[in-house]
């Protein structure tokens, strides 16, 4: 399992357009990619230019496949000029067993 929290700072003048791209890629990734477990986008309540996306992939292979999909490439190419800063730290789940329960409960 691969877990990342994408830390994205968007230029304010592009926020509306960026959100449209982000919502589309997240939806299509969940619908079309079995190895994408979660893409959960969030916007900071204190600073609307700060976006965080909880990303969970079944494996490194699933993540690499995701990066090559048409919908991800459209997002990446379409938003390059909108993003002021991007960090993609990999996270280590403290309790992977409980994570499975969280996603069952979400239904």
The range of the structural domain enclosing residue 82 comes to: 2-105
By DSSP bridging, strand 83-87 and strand 2-10 are antiparallel
Looking at every residue in the chain, the average pLDDT score rounds to: 93
Mean pLDDT of 2-23: 97
Residue 96 or residue 7, greater confidence: 7
Instruction: Name the maximum alpha-carbon separation found in the chain.
Output: 41
pLDDT bracket for residue 12 (50, 70, 90)? very high
Please count the structural domains in the chain. 1
Question: Could you tell me the CATH number of the domain that includes residue 98?
Answer: 3.30.70.100
pLDDT in tens, 19-70: 999 999 999 999 999 999 999 999 999 999 999 999 999 999 999 999 999 9
pTM: 0.89
| pLDDT at residue 18 tops 90 | yes
Phi, then psi, of 31 in degrees rounded to 5: -70, -40
């Amino acid at each position: 399992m691969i877990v990342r929290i994408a830390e994205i700072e968007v230029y304010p003048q592009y926020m509306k357009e960026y959100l449209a791209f982000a919502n589309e890629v997240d939806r299509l990734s969940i619908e079309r990619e079995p190895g994408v477990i979660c893409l959960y986008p969030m916007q900071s309540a204190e600073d609307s230019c700060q976006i965080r996306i909880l990303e969970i992939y079944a494996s490194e292979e699933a993540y690499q496949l995701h990066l090559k999909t048409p919908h991800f490439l459209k997002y990446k190419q379409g938003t390059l000029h909108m993003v002021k800063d991007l960090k993609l730290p990999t996270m280590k789940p403290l309790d992977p067993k409980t994570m499975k329960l969280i996603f069952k409960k979400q239904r």
